[in-house]
Structure 1
Amino acid sequence: MTASDGLTRTQLAAYLDDFLSVSQFKDYAPNGLQVEGKDNIRTLVTGVTACQPLIEQAIALNADAILVHHGFFWKNEAEVITGMKHKRIKALINNDISLFGYHLPLDAHHGVGNNAELARVLGIISPRVCPQVSQDLLWQGHLKAPMLPEDFAAHLHTSLGREALHIGDKTKPISTLAWCTGGAQDYIDEAVKLGVDAFISGEVSERTYHSAMEQGIHYFAAGHHATEQFGIQALGEHLSREFGLSHHFIDIINPV
């Protein structure tokens, strides 16, 4: 298949469902094709979240499909298509653009997933899945050399483009880590069971402070968007290499 051939919408959906092992996951949003657009796909836009600015930039690029980590139709949200949701979906349909969304399958993938990519970006050694948490969502590894929390926070800032919140003893060095990208702060107790020095996720809750301080583990809230910006890029680049698609990653800044 040449670059000019592209893929059909059905071929891309089937490939992604298989590549990301979608059938193995119990998720709270549909994984796969969420809005149907044109049959043939040659230009692909990727982004973390299917927000209106991402859709508008995809339209400007004459994209055939958008591939995101955070798509539409989440569990417990209103089922009606009105307001913001209507505006987004209308823009996709009016421009014949398909929307594909992959949530937990992209977090967990061992090759291009958010957790695997975060380890790569941070230079974590021997990254591996922690089997006590299902669906391969909690990972662990170690640093090349111990770092003080202040220095590791600076490393996170440089690597992710966002200042991280640190909770813990500022004098206690870090050698071993566990992590789960996004809204995974409640895996901190599982990280404690692993005996690691620090746990990284995207978001933080009020209760996370007490869990970290009372259990003697460093916690870093490095940003939901910031920790999940790399997996979708890696997946888009993979598709571009495999099928000759024109790929554009669009980073819509989100400080959360």
Structure 2
Amino acid sequence: MSRRFFVGGNFKMNLVVNSVTSIVTNLNTAQLDPSTEVVIAPPSLYLLLVRQLADSKIGVAAQNVFDKPNGAFTGELSVEQLRDAHIDWTIIGHSERRVVLKEDDDFVARKTKAAIDGGLSVILCIGESLDEREAERTIEIVTRQLNAVAECLSKNQWTKVVIAYEPIWAIGTGKVATTAQAQEAHAAIRKWLAEKISSESAENTRVIYGGSVSDGNCKDLAKQPDVDGFLVGGASLKPAFVDIVNSRISPPM
């Protein structure tokens, strides 16, 4: 398989200078699987600090970006500002922004286009609620979210997208999709890519899993053929994040 394994750490609205520095220092000194791409997303206040501290082997992402150029948009960050700060990635469409801040599919799609047009790569989050899962609407929901983005992007721009399937019912709850549930959703997303975008996109686009990923469940999830990595929340704040990055490495005999 040609897809490079990808592990993102979303720090969310956590940490202060000392704890951010400690986490980055630990990652810099850890033996990380060189075949895995690692990208961490600190709160926006610490983006410059983290980019200055982190080794070049570690990518840095914003947790959000606006869909308009610089201007009178109080509290927002523009693509140009992120690029100027040497930030190459952004998370877009996380369920906490969709649910809590009421960002709809169209807004998520516009932000994705603005980010990629401006030179950023995007971790695009999609996922269903517990009610939608129990109503067997998972595939309907995630393809609806993806269709909105497909209306905005050219086929070539999907090379700048990592899709993060994050069932809302599993985020921060301790509940995790079973390996079969994760694989089923990821396979459906890859089928959508083949039918809607191209067979090349289906083969090359990384589809990662997020939702209470830990050092205890990551190895089984990583064995699934369509799981290309993880977007990690709470566990990215702990030393065990290194074990998740290294989830495909067999322990020494």
TM-score greater than 0.5 by the shorter chain: no
Greater strand fraction, Structure 1 or Structure 2: 1
TM-score normalised over the length of structure 1: 0.26
TM-score normalised over the length of structure 2: 0.27
Greater helix fraction, Structure 1 or Structure 2: 2
